[in-house]
Structure 1
Amino acid sequence: MSDASLQSTTDYEASMGDYFALLKPRVMSLVVFTALVGLLVSPVPVHPFIGFVAILCIAVGAGASGALNMWWDADIDAVMKRTAKRPIPDGRVQPGEALAIGMALSGFSVVLLALATNWLAAGLLAFTIFFYAVVYSMWLKRATPQNIVIGGAAGAFPPMIGWAVATGGIGIESVLMFALIFMWTPPHFWALALFMKSDYGDAGVPMLNVTHGTRTTRNHVLGYALLLVPVALGLGLTSVGGPLYMATAVAMNAWFLKGCYDIWKRDTDAADADNFAVEKNTFKISLYYLFAHFLALLAEAILKTQGLGGW
C-alpha cells in the first residue's frame, strides 16, 4: 500500500467525527456488548469501576484494530462502493494519522487493562488486536477465500476477554461464547458477500463467492449454519444458560437456519430477479441472531440474582 497514492489534494482538516469513524464504531458497539456480557455472566463479581475501565479498554482496543485495518486496507476501501467514503480513501484522514492512532490506542488499551485487571485479559486483548490487524487484515483477507473463517476469531474474543477480566481464567462458558461468534461469522459475512460480489471482485479480495462461485458459497452458508446450532444449544447447557436462553436459542437458530436454507436452495437467476432479497433478509436476521443470544445470556444472569434464572 502506498501512502502517497492516498494523500488528499485538498487542505481538508479532519474533525473529531472523522477520527472516530476510523475506530469503526458499529463494530465497536458489538464488541463492547459481547465483552460486557462475558464479564457480567461470569461467576465472579467485579467492582463496577473496574468493570467500566475494563470495558473501556476493550472498546479502545477494538477501535485501535479498526484504525489499523483502515490504514492497511485504504487502497481496496477506495475501490469498493461500500467503503469508499471511509475517512482515508475519502481524503479526510491521512494514512499516517490512522497508523499513529491505531498504534497509540493499542498500547494504551492493553497496558491499562493489565494494570486494572490481570495479564491474561490484557494478553487476550493484545492478541485480538494483533490477530485482526496483522493475521486477518495484512495476510488472510487478501490471501485466501477462507479469510473470514479464520479471521472471524478476532471478533470472537471479546466475551472471552470479559470473562477473563472477572475470573482471571478461561472456562468452558467463555470458550463456547467464543465459538458462538466464531461459527456465526462465516454465514453472516457470506450472506453479505453474495449481494456485494462486484465490490469484492473489483477490489481483488478473494471472497469465497469470487473465487469459487455462488453455488459453493451458498453451500458453505448452510453448512456453517448447521454447525452453529449445536454450539448455540451447548452454551445453554452450561452454568450461564437456562430456560430463557435455550428458548431464545431454539427460536433464533430455527429462524436463521431457515434463512440460510432459503439462500442455499436459490440460484443466481432467482437472486438477480429479486435483487438478492433473501440474502439481504438473512443478513439482517444474522444481526438479530447474535444480539438475541447474548441478550438472553445477560437476562439469565439478571434472573439468577433474583433466584430465578439458570437450570
Structure 2
Amino acid sequence: MSDASLQPEPTAAVPSGDDAGFRDFFALLKPRVMTLVVFTAFVGLLAAPVAVHPVVGLAAILFIAVGGGAAGALNMWWESDIDALMKRTSKRPIPAGRVTRDEAFAFGMALAGMSVIMLWLATNALAAAILAFTIFFYVVIYTIGLKRWTPQNIVIGGAAGAFPPMIGWAAATGSISLESVLMFGLIFLWTPPHFWALALFMRGDYDGAGVPMLTVTHGRPATRRHILVYTLVLAAMAVGAAFTGIGGPVYLVVAVVFNALFLRDAVAIWRRDEVMAEADNYKVEKHAFKLSLWYLFAHFSAILTEATLGRFGLGGWA
C-alpha cells in the first residue's frame, strides 16, 4: 500500500497553519493519551523502592509527558492523510487545515529533543534513553514502519504505550527490574483486546482508510479469538503480579475482580457471531471496551495504593 493511495481527495482542506492556536498545538500532543502516560509513569516512579525528591519527581513526570506528547505530534504529522479519511480523526488540527504538516513535524521534534535532554539532566541516562527509544519506537518503527503493513500493528504499538511506567521506575532507581517489566506487560497485553474490541464496532473507519486492522485482514471471527487469547494471558500475568514487589492484598482483590469481568466479556465476544452482534448493536463489544478503559486505571491505582501503604510498613504481604 502506498502513501499516495491514502491521500485525501483533492477537495479536502489544505492546511495553511494561518489559524493555528494554542488549542491546536495542544491537540497535537494527544492529551487523552498523555493522561495515561502521565498516570502510569507516576505510578512507576512512586512504586519504585527508592525515595525521590518531590521536585525531581515532578520534573521527571513533566518531561515524560512532554516526550509522550512529542510522539503524538509526530504520529499526527505522518498520519495526516489517513486522519482525513476517518470520521473520528478528520477534525484533528492537520486534516482540518489549522496546522501544517511542517509545523507539526518541527513542533514534535523540538519537544522530543527537549524532553529527552531534560529528563537526562533531571534524573539519569537510563530513564532518558528509554524515553528516547519509546519516541523512536512509536514514531519510526510503529507509525512509519509497520502500522500500515501488518494486522499486528496494535500489538506492536502497544509496546510504545507500555514504556512509561518503566521510565518512571528507571527515573527513580536508575535500573530496570522485574516489577517495572510487569507494569510494562500489563499495558502491552491490555492494548490488543482494548483496541480490537473497539475495532469490532468501528470497522468502517479502518476499512475506508486502508489501515490493516485485524478485523479487516483476518475478519471478525479471528479477531474475537485473538481477544480471548490475549485476555487469558493478560489475566494470568495480572493476577500473578500480585505476588511480586508491586503487589499485595489490595492489588490481588482488584486484579481478581477486574480480570474476571474482562474474561467474562472476552468469552462472550468469542461466542458471538456478526448476526448476534449486529442484532444488539454490538452491546457486548462496547461493554468490553468501556470496561477496558477502567481496567488499567484500577490496576495501576492498586499498585499505587500498595506503594503508599508500603511507606507506612503496611503494603505488600509483609
Paired residue for 1:48, among 51, 54, 57?
54
SS of equivalent residue, structure 1 residue 239: coil
Distance change (3 Å), C-alpha of 1:226 and 1:78: same
**TM-score where L is the length of structure 2:** 0.95
Alignment check: 8 A CA contact 2:247 2:303 kept: yes
Distance change (3 Å), C-alpha of 1:195 and 1:168: same
CA deviation digits over 1:96-141, x for unaligned, max 9? 1100010000000000001111110000000000010111101111
Paired residue for 1:211, among 217, 220, 223?
217
Residue type of the alignment partner of 1:96: D
- Alignment size in residue pairs: 311
1:225-264 matches, within 5 Å, as: 225-264=231-270
Aligned residue number for residue 278 of structure 2: 272
Shift of 1:235: 1.5
Residue type of the alignment partner of 2:210: G
1:1-311 matches, within 5 Å, as: 8=14, 12-311=18-317
Alignment check: 8 A CA contact 1:140 1:151 kept: no
**TM-score where L is the length of structure 1:** 0.97
- Cα RMSD, aligned residues only: 1.5
Gaps of 5+ in 2: none
CA deviation digits over 1:123-180, x for unaligned, max 9? 0000000010111101111010011112210000000000000000001000010011
Shift of 1:309: 1.4
CA distance in 2, matches of 1:145, 1:11: 34
Shift of 1:15: 1.3
Shift of 1:193: 0.7
Residue type of the alignment partner of 2:309: L
CA distance in 2, matches of 1:181, 1:10: 37
Identity across aligned pairs (percent)? 64
Alignment check: 8 A CA contact 2:24 2:98 kept: yes
CA distance in 2, matches of 1:70, 1:9: 13
The ranges of structure 1 where at least 4 consecutive aligned residues each deviate by more than 4 angstroms after the TM superposition are 1-7, 9-12
Residue type of the alignment partner of 1:94: T
SS of equivalent residue, structure 1 residue 142: coil
CA distance in 1, matches of 2:96, 2:279: 33
CA distance in 1, matches of 2:17, 2:246: 53
